[in-house]
Amino acid sequence: MADKNTVFQQKLSLNIRGDLMDLSKPKIMGILNLTPDSFYDGGRNNDLIKALKKAEEFLSEGADILDLGAYSSRPGAVHISEAEEMERLIPIINAITGEFPNAVLSIDTFRSAVARAAVNEGGHIINDISAGEMDTAMFETVAALGVPYILMHMKGTPQTMSSETEYKNITTEVCQYFASKIARLKQLGVKDLIVDPGFGFAKTADQSYELLKNLDFLKIAGHPILAGLSRKSMIYKTLGTDAVNALNGTIAANTIALMKGANILRVHDVKVARETVKIFEQVG
């Protein structure tokens, strides 16, 4: 693998419908799960009133992006249809864009049809846990839509990923994965990309910590890095607790991610993450 300190130039902006988002300073993405079964907050925000209230809370606390997901990707999650995903998602996109027209919305989906519908209704970014692996039309769809695209590393599916954790060198393999995907996306004309190493997705806790330790290697991809560590099992199992009591561990992990070059923190706790970034920036 190339030396992480060689001459790779990292792109640190996103074109959000003509407005540039500057990622030279870390941004906060608030997780808005619209599902009944997500691992931490399933069912808390899965109707219109609850979702609008949570969106208002996140925006008031300083969220730069709201990440809306209507398909649970926790290990072993129940597979739902495309129609059900859209039924959960589209009305809430409409409600949020109506109430908060300046909010930047990321759509957490691996389905190209859902991505297309969501962007047509006001979504700004597509966040794909499968990086095009679960829907081969996704890359072409994102290229046609002209929106930023978050590609995450995962093997298998949410239903099978727990058994797909064999790597010779996880950091090298993740970097090679992104290099291949980015080359294809650039051929299609996609310019605004964000890479997410996929902590906990087809990875043991030890493998996830190795990726966190080596997060700065992902700068060689030349694009912003998203770190999604919030309240994950790699944190709470290490601490012998549960997701509800994993906030302190999340703060520690997010601080390490910032020190290693993360440009976006994807979190359940926006106010705390904003404070983490503020302290980091005093010495960063």
- Which pLDDT tens digit goes with each residue over 185-221? 999 999 999 999 999 999 999 999 999 999 999 999 9
158 — pLDDT class (breaks 50, 70, 90): confident
The answer as to whether 202 is a domain residue is yes
- Residue ranges making up the domain that contains 147: 26-283
Does residue 7 fall inside a structural domain?
Answer: no
Decide if pLDDT at 5 tops 60.
no
Residue 141: CATH number of its domain: 3.20.20.20
pLDDT value, residue 174 = 97
Q: Could you report the per-residue pLDDT of 10-55, keeping only the tens digit for each?
A: 899 999 999 999 999 999 999 999 887 554 555 566 678 889 999 9
Structural domain includes residue 12 = no
Asked, for residue 89, whether it belongs to a domain, the answer is yes
pLDDT (tens digit per residue) in 88-112: 999 999 999 999 999 999 999 999 9
Q: Has residue 196 been placed in a domain?
A: yes
Query: What percent of the chain is modeled with pLDDT above 70?
Result: 92
Please report whether residue 18 resides in a domain. Answer: no
Q: Is residue 166 part of a domain?
A: yes
pLDDT at 45: 65
pLDDT of residue 251: 98
Catalytically active residues are 232, 266
- Count of domains forming the chain: 1
- Say if residue 48 is exposed, middle or buried (CB neighbours under 10 Å; 0-12, 13-18, 19+): middle
Domain assignment present for 161:
yes
Check if the beta carbon of residue 22 is closer than 8 Å to that of residue 260.
no
The pLDDT, as a whole number, for residue 44 is: 62
